[in-house]
Structure 1
Amino acid sequence: MLTEQRKQLILGRLRQDGQVVAATLSDELGLSEDTIRRDLRALAAEGLLQRVHGGALPASAAVGDFSARRAVEPQAKASIARAAAAMVQPGQIVFIDGGTTCQQLAWQLAPTLRATVVTHSPTIALELVEHPLIEVVLIGGRLFKHSVVAVGAGALEAIGRIRADLYFMGVTGISTGAGLSTGDLEESHIKRALMTQAAETWVLASAEKLQSASAYTIAPCSAATGLIVDRDTPKKVLAGFEKLGLAVVRA
């Protein structure tokens, strides 16, 4: 089998099964695992999959720039954001992550809600400028432009001094095996710190992020409280997350 044929077969298996196990494919094709791993490296370099221990997962589609990501699953993101906004109770302190779904969440917060929103995203802070009752605490640092969020040591120190009731997390990938992931190392540290300081962490998980992975692990899935997903998400996609003990809210 030619190299290009093997690559197309691997991509086909990813679409069909949601993962590729190198040892299994090696046995099936009568090829060495080294050959399969070499193909996986090449496909990963092209951004077509994410290598994980023992094989590969689909690469997250949520890796474009901020403007491009606004066009991905906009209706689902709006539904997820509405469900998240409904969880916020008066008087709570809430961490809101950066990203396009979290921007929708800021839009959905009720105008009568009195609460405190802590965010490291200037985008989120600006969306709440006109909200009459929400106090906004903006965490500063170096601007990571992909998600329009602050990262770095200063941001970590500030986050460590706040305790929140809820954290609404944005991710680029979530997988039962690879956990919660994102495409930037510093951003993964920030998200992990926010999880540590929040009583509950809810992951805003539109369809393109489920059972996909990015390069940097934030935490195992079990570290989160639950997922907020689109109501049309297939049960079989969510079954593995529920087995890990995550609550699932269908928006």
Structure 2
Amino acid sequence: MLTSQRKHLLLTRLDRDGQLVAKAISQELGISEDTIRRDLRELAQAGKLQRVHGGALPASPAVGNVAAREQIASLDKQAIGRAAAAMVQPGQVVIIDGGTTALQMARHLSEDLHATVLTHSPAVAMALAHCPHVVIQLLGGRLFRHSMVAMGAELMEQLSRVRADVFFLGATGVHASAGVTTGDSEEAAVKRALHRCAAETVLLASGEKLGAASAYRIMALADVSAVVVHKGTPVPWIRSARRAGLRVVQAF
């Protein structure tokens, strides 16, 4: 079997099964695990999958810059943002993450809402301009241009003084075993710090992120209190999330 044929087979199996186990594939094809690992490494370098110990998982398409991500599942993100915004209660102190789904949440908060919102995303802060009764606290630091959010030591120092009711978390991958992931190690650390600042964390997960993985783990899926997903989310995924102890909110 030619290399191109093997790689096509691997991607077809990954799309069908949601994961690849290098040992099983090598035994099936009668070739060495080293050959399969090399194929997986080259496919990962091309952005076609995410390597994990023993095999591979689907790569999240949500790892591009903000402009690219705004074009992915835009209607689903609007619905998820609207549902997440409805979860905010008057008087709460809320942290809103950066990202395109979080931006939709900010845009859908009620004009009558009285609350405090903390964010390290300038775009999210600007989107709250229509809420005259919301106290907006912009967390500062070095701007990470890929996601257009603040990061670095200054931000982490500010977070040491924050105690919020709820953190609305964005990610690029959500997988039962790989957990909640993103494409940058420092961004993953910031998201963990934001999670520790809040009494509960609500994950905003549009469909292209479900079952996919990125390189850096933020937390286990079970560490999340609730997840907001689009209305077309497969029932088996919803059931597995509920078995993990998550409250699942479907956005319509």
Unaligned residue ranges in structure 2 (runs of 5+): none
Q: Name the SS for the 1:57 alignment partner.
A: strand
Q: Name the SS for the 2:130 alignment partner.
A: coil
C-alpha distance in structure 1 between counterparts of 2:177 and 2:145, whole Å: 28
After superposition, give the CA deviation of every residue in 1:125-159 in whole Å (9 maximum; x if it has no partner).
11113321000111111111121100111111111
**Is residue 169–residue 204 contact of structure 2 (8 Å, CA) maintained in 1?**
yes
Q: Which residue of 2 aligns with 1:5?
A: 5
Alpha-carbon distance, 1:22 to partner:
1.1
Residue identity in the other structure for 2:151: V
**Is residue 227–residue 246 contact of structure 2 (8 Å, CA) maintained in 1?**
yes
**What stretches of structure 1 move > 4 A for 4+ residues in a row?**
none
C-alpha distance in structure 2 between counterparts of 1:195 and 1:27, whole Å: 42
Q: Which residue of 1 aligns with 2:81?
A: 81
Unaligned residue ranges in structure 1 (runs of 5+): none
C-alpha distance in structure 2 between counterparts of 1:32 and 1:177, whole Å: 26
Q: Does the C-alpha gap of structure 1 residues 240 and 27 become closer, same or farther in structure 2, counting only changes over 3 Å?
A: farther
Q: Which residue of 2 aligns with 1:236?
A: 236
Map 1:95-134; keep pairs closer than 5 Å: 95-134=95-134
Between the aligned residues of both structures, percent identity stands at 55
Map 1:130-149; keep pairs closer than 5 Å: 130-149=130-149
After superposition, give the CA deviation of every residue in 1:158-197 in whole Å (9 maximum; x if it has no partner).
1121111111001000111111111111110110001111
C-alpha distance in structure 2 between counterparts of 1:179 and 1:73, whole Å: 21
Alpha-carbon distance, 1:205 to partner:
0.3
Q: Which residue of 2 aligns with 1:175?
A: 175
Map 1:54-93; keep pairs closer than 5 Å: 54-93=54-93
Alpha-carbon distance, 1:35 to partner:
1.3
C-alpha distance in structure 1 between counterparts of 2:47 and 2:233, whole Å: 25
C-alpha distance in structure 2 between counterparts of 1:232 and 1:13, whole Å: 23
Q: Which residue of 1 aligns with 2:150?
A: 150
After superposition, give the CA deviation of every residue in 1:48-71 in whole Å (9 maximum; x if it has no partner).
100011111111110121111111
C-alpha distance in structure 2 between counterparts of 1:188 and 1:160, whole Å: 17
Residue identity in the other structure for 1:27: Q
**Is residue 95–residue 168 contact of structure 2 (8 Å, CA) maintained in 1?**
yes
Residue identity in the other structure for 1:74: S
State TM-score, norm by structure 1.
Answer: 0.97
**Alignment coverage as a number of residue pairs:** 251
RMSD of aligned Cα (Å): 1.0
Q: Which residue of 2 aligns with 1:221?
A: 221
Q: Name the SS for the 2:222 alignment partner.
A: helix
Q: Name the SS for the 1:50 alignment partner.
A: strand
Query: Which moved further from structure 2: 192-201 or 230-239?
Result: 230-239
Alpha-carbon distance, 1:241 to partner:
2.3
After superposition, give the CA deviation of every residue in 1:53-112 in whole Å (9 maximum; x if it has no partner).
111111111012111111111111011111101110000000000011111100100011
C-alpha distance in structure 2 between counterparts of 1:136 and 1:66, whole Å: 22
State TM-score, norm by structure 2.
Answer: 0.97
**Is residue 111–residue 130 contact of structure 2 (8 Å, CA) maintained in 1?**
no
Q: Which residue of 2 aligns with 1:35?
A: 35
Residue identity in the other structure for 2:220: P
Q: Which residue of 2 aligns with 1:210?
A: 210
C-alpha distance in structure 1 between counterparts of 2:245 and 2:166, whole Å: 18
Residue identity in the other structure for 2:49: L
Q: Which residue of 1 aligns with 2:190?
A: 190
